[in-house]
Amino acid sequence: MIIRILDIIRIVFTCAAFFAGYTIGFANEYNPTAQLHFMIPAVIITIAGLSGVEGLLFSDMAAEIKGFEKGTNYQKQSAIGLLSYAFTAILVYISNWGIKAELAILFTFLFFLFFSGINHMVNAIRYRNYKWQNINRPIITLLLLAGFFYPVLMVLKEL
């Protein structure tokens, strides 16, 4: 039950971060830097932070609901990796290192999700693991990429 609640929180908070980010970006004249300055840490902290906590505190339940083996060291390592994205996003935001540092952590996080999505898709095809928690990763990753595409493209044009 807690895993499903964390999944709902991740989706709702990420949608809220996109809504707020696009609202900020289009408040006056379009400002993709302001939009991404809000969205990047909010999305990474929400997804990576909650997923990392889930992986550390509820690893067996998370593995079961995804259709993966339980009790592997990989689960803890993956959770720590996800938490490192969240903490780095916080550090970059608090330190105000600028849009280039924010983009660096965003790209790193999105690359991880992209390849993780491929891994989940292969798992679904090869092992017929059609559990929602397994097959949603490629879908959600594509949605994230689509939502970040325009503001990232616009901010890159400004650099």
Residue boundaries of the structural domains of the chain:
2-158
Torsion angle of the four alpha carbons 128, 132, 138, 144, in this order, in degrees rounded to the nearest 10: 180
Contact 43, 10 (CB under 8 A): no
Give the model confidence (pLDDT) of 101-148 as tens digits.
Answer: 999 999 999 999 999 999 989 988 999 888 777 788 899 999 999 999
pLDDT for the residue 150 = 98
Where do the H-state alpha helices sit in 26-131?
32-44, 50-57, 59-66, 73-95, 99-127
- Written as one letter, the residue type at 150 is Y
Q: Calculate the CA 97 to chain-centre distance.
A: 20
Residue 38's closest CA among 84, 93, 103?
93
Least confident of 2-11, 91-100, 103-112, 150-159: 2-11
Q: Taking the model in full, what pTM does it have? A: 0.91
Q: Other CB atoms closer than 10 Å to residue 87's CB: what's the count?
A: 15
For a pLDDT cut of 90, what percent of the chain falls above it?
77
Contact 102, 36 (CB under 8 A): yes
pLDDT for the residue 63 = 63
Give the model confidence (pLDDT) of 65-79 as tens digits.
Answer: 766 677 787 788 999
pLDDT for the residue 47 = 97
Of residues 156 and 119, more confidence is placed in 156
Token output for 88 = 């780095």
Of residues 40 and 130, more confidence is placed in 40
